[in-house]
Amino acid sequence: MSTVITNIGELATNDPDRDGLLGLVTDAAVVVEGSRIAWVGPAAEAPDADVRVDAGGRAVVPGFVDSHSHLVFAGDRSAEFEARMTGQPYTAGGIRTTVAKTRAATDEQLTSHVARLVAEMRAQGTTSLEIKSGYGLSVHDEARSLAVARQFTDETTFLGAHVVPADTTPEDYVDLVTGPMLAAAAPHARWIDVFCEDGAFDVDQARTILAAGSDIGLRGRLHANQLTYGGGVRLACELGLVAVDHCTFLSALDVESLRDSGTIATLLPGVEFSTRQPYPDARGLLDAGVRVALASDCNPGSCFTSSMALCIALAVREMRMSPAEALHAATAMGAAALDRDDVGVLAPGKAADLVLLDAPSYVHLAYRPGVPLVAGVWQHGRPVVPG
Ligand SMILES: [Zn+2]
């Protein structure tokens, strides 16, 4: 079955064969066949289709690609957030409180919780997402966390190296993560990740863990330079990882390494918003020629938002990205950060993942922060939010 979405006032395609960063087309139409895009161009030239959807002059953008989330967890940490907002700093140890709740939850409870969050994301325009483990921290609980995540996305990441559990030493835990835990997790994961930070894992431990993952075919990603300066970002660049996430505290050498390696800096401004940390220097990174993506980092501790539109608004308001750069970073660059070229771009042959905005322009995503602007979502050609 084919569908033509026509009378699109402004269409952001991210197609590099079109003009500008976003490849904008005005008075546009998109034809969808099955799960793929069949045609993009001026509405007046659009071919016929079985179903016709009138966008009413509103804007259409690619579905958001959220390349960093921690959705498999149980429990609530709103009290910790309230404490932090009234003067207590965030420390990595807060993760352990979620670990206890996650271990105590059944598979069914974890699955229904992830399903609820994925639906929440989809309703806000996210059509592709990555989900990490990292609140199990035992062989059994990491493997089942990833099995739960796999029901919702192919982009699953083993993050056994999130924090060292209270009942073991860092040395013993790295042995566990790189041995039996990795073996149990690998069948359910595409990626391996390490929280490389003071209070979590140092650069040498991160190198060891990523190498063990690489040996059995998992691709590396890294949480680095979130809370302080350190060698995590340079390790990611040295290893040629596709993306390194957070990048809040960067030296001039870190920025040079990112530029030279092509490793994408995935910025997670919802974290800084929710922890009152300084924001990453997105403007400086872009001006230096670094590739930048935006993601939510949706997690129960440091940032419990699932809204990519909020991330775009923060990137524009707080990090001096242009509205076009921010949308591109939340779509095409999110896809690049997952090494995917089938999503994040609206062009023939690509996945039909589209968002109809209740606005005349994509700029409204930043211009109208906090306003629910998503009027329709198509995921692989299927209308999942009524347009
Ligand atoms: Zn994270």
- The alpha carbon of 123 and the centre of ligand 1 are apart by a number of angstroms equal to 22
- The alpha carbon of 38 and the centre of ligand 1 are apart by a number of angstroms equal to 35
pLDDT tens string 299-322: 999 999 999 999 999 999 999 999
- The alpha carbon of 7 and the centre of ligand 1 are apart by a number of angstroms equal to 39
CA distance 294 to 68: 9
- The alpha carbon of 41 and the centre of ligand 1 are apart by a number of angstroms equal to 38
* pLDDT above 60: residue 92: no
Q: Which residues place a Cβ less than 5 A from the ion ligand 1?
A: 297
* pLDDT above 90: residue 89: no
> Residue 133 corresponds to which amino acid?
S
pLDDT for the residue 240: 98
pTM over 0.85: yes
pLDDT tens string 175-233: 999 999 999 999 999 999 999 999 899 999 999 999 999 999 999 999 999 999 999 99
CA distance 344 to 64: 7
Q: Over the range 332-365, which residues count as b (16 or more CB within 10 Å of their CB) and which as e?
A: bbbbbbbebeebbbbbeebbbbbbbbebebbbbb
pLDDT tens string 319-343: 999 999 999 999 999 999 999 999 9
- The alpha carbon of 297 and the centre of ligand 1 are apart by a number of angstroms equal to 5
For residue 177, give both structure tokens.
Answer: 């993560």
User: How large is the average pLDDT for residues 105-129?
Assistant: 98
Strand partners, 64: 126
Q: What's 142-172 look like in SS3? A: HHHHHHHHHCCCCCEEEEEECCCCCCCCHHH
